[in-house]
Structure 1
Amino acid sequence: MLFCGRHPHKREIVNITPCPLVLIPGFMLDETLWQRFQTCLPAGWPVLHGALSGGKTIRDIARHLAETLPPRFVLVGFSLGGYIARQLAADYPQRAAALVLVASSLREDTEQQMASKQRAVQSLSAATFSGLSRTAIAGSLHPDRAADTALIAAIRQMGNRLGYAALASQSALRRADVPAAAIQCPTLVVAGAQDALRSLDEAQELTAAIAGATLQVLDGSGHMLPLEQPQALADTLVRWLNEQGID
């Protein structure tokens, strides 16, 4: 069982509440993103789920989420969720025991990317939106999984459940000025070796921007690491937390 805080002397660990993982999904994904990953964690590990809602900015969403969380936690943010996790870690340093950024980035969207997102939103409506496109989803996966219709359907259904309003609000989020250098807690950056959406250069930039951060690259996965390599991701997270003495 992992506990909040860093404990070099195991005999001192008594009556301490287990430190929960706070799992934050990415763009147009919900908590089912983490189902496979959760089954790979040690039994009894407390898990809480965050959502990309509760505000019009990344800081607002982070503040809204913080209001629902216990005093201490380990943050695990996937892709866009990594930006929320970084904001939380920087704004609440006394509460973040550790930070894990999965398939995320330091970079902000360009004006052209923002404009493209808005055009996509405007081309749809609540009546016509039924999830991200199958082509886009397939392009986010490892080439060996690009034809996995069940996996693609599961990812598409997440977006369908969230709906058009979530698409509009998440597409409008500005990713600029999200803290990195201000983060004080132990940080792990995890990247997929075959991620076509977030490059290894981005993972290296993110790692370099956070003091003392560690980078781990997992082979055999595209962007959707929690679904494509859940066991490897869970093993990597648990091993790293143990190495940090967060147990």
Structure 2
Amino acid sequence: MTFPLLLIPGLNCTERAFVPLLGSLWPLASVTLVNHRRGDSMAAIAGAILAEAPPRFALLGFSMGGYIAFEMLRQAPERVERLCCLATMARPDTAEQAENRRRMIALAEQGRFDQVIGANFPNTVHPDNVDSLELRDLHASMARETGAETYVAQQRAILARPDSRPDLAGIRVPTSVVVGEADMVTGVDGAREIAGGVPGAELTVIAGAGHMVPLEQPDAVGEALAKWLRR
């Protein structure tokens, strides 16, 4: 018998970020791709998702989706049956990361959103994939579909998010942490910190992938997720 699984996309991502994983997930769970574009804070975004979610569910958060997942756990821990943190971190931004977000917000508000998209892409993939036109086009099309206004609102929500590290020890559900070996956005260290903080969490580092790990190495990610769902 399958159970509900909520998939939360990342910043500038749509449901298309998860499409390559669906073949691995559908036999094991009833998959819902959630809308993370409502609300101007982590609390509001998480609340909107919880209002429409089943009574109990498994939860997978990709990048920004992980920040939202941590907030959902703060609001309704009893409803989450298992957790997957995919290319995300629990720690707040460094000063440098926060300043870069503010620069990107300013560019988007000046009508230079395409510049933001182009500047961000190389940092989101493994160095071997920087020249992939397929990944570049998918990254750009998802961002344009999300739009500059949502991008700005979500970046501001990310900047204001709480530090989730104090909550890690209280997470008592089967937890998987998956990250690309060359993740330059949330980083392998950020993933290790989550895995080390959540009791019994399992860490998987995916070779040949950067931050866009579900698109870069979907078979390896799908294998890790299937193992998590069968735990």
- Give the count of matched residue pairs: 227
Residue identity matched to 2:218 = P
1:86 to 70, 91, 100: 70
Inter-partner Cα distance in structure 2 for 1:111 and 1:201:
17
- 2:107, 2:116 within 8 Å by CA — same for their partners in 1? no
Once the two structures are TM-superposed, the CA of residue 212 in structure 1 deviates from its matched residue by 2.0
- Superposed counterparts of 1:165-176, under 5 Å: 165-173=149-157, 174-176=160-162
Deviation at 1:134, TM superposition (A): 2.7
Letter in 1 for 2:99: A
Cα distance in 1, alignment partners of residues 196 and 16 from structure 2: 31
Q: Does residue 130 of structure 2 align to residue 142 of structure 1?
A: no
1:116 aligns with 2:104: no
Pair 1:181 & 2:165 matched: no
How far did residue 208 of structure 1 move? 1.6
Q: Is 1:237 matched with 2:225?
A: yes
Aligned residue number for residue 191 of structure 2: 203
Partners of 2:217 and 2:138 in 1: how far apart?
Answer: 16
Contact 1:90/1:183, CA 8 A, preserved across alignment: no
Match of 1:57 among 38, 41, 52: 41
The answer (yes or no) to whether the contact 2:24–2:226 under 8 Å persists in 1 is: no
Question: In the TM superposition, what is the alpha-carbon distance from 1:21 to its structure 2 partner?
Answer: 1.5
**Mapped pair 1:29 → 2:17:** no
For residue 54 of structure 1, report the CA deviation from its aligned partner: 2.4
Higher-helix-fraction structure: 2
Secondary structure in 2 aligned to 1:172? Answer: helix
Moved more, 130-139 or 217-226: 130-139
1:6 — aligned with what? Answer: none
Q: Residue 30 of structure 1: CA displacement?
A: 1.0
Runs of 4+ in 1 over 6 A off after TM superposition: none
- Unaligned residue ranges in structure 1 (runs of 5+): 4-17
Aligned equivalents of 1:218 and 1:111: distance in 2? 28
The alignment's C-alpha RMSD in Å is: 2.0
Residues 18-41 of structure 1 show CA distances to partners (whole Å, capped at 9, x for unaligned) of: 312111111111111111111333
- TM-score by structure 2 length? 0.89
**Percent same amino acid among aligned pairs?**
32
- SS of the equivalent of 1:234 reads helix
SS of the residue 2:183 aligns to: coil
How many Å apart are 1:111 and its aligned residue?
A: 4.2
Bigger Rg over Cα: 1
Q: Separation in 2 of the partners of 1:36 and 1:99?
A: 20
Q: Which residue of 1 aligns with 2:215?
A: 227
Pair 1:115–1:219, CA change in 2 (3 A): closer
Task: Please list every run of 5 or more consecutive structure 2 residues that lacks an aligned counterpart in the other structure.
Answer: none
CA contact 1:76–1:100 (8 Å) conserved in 2: yes
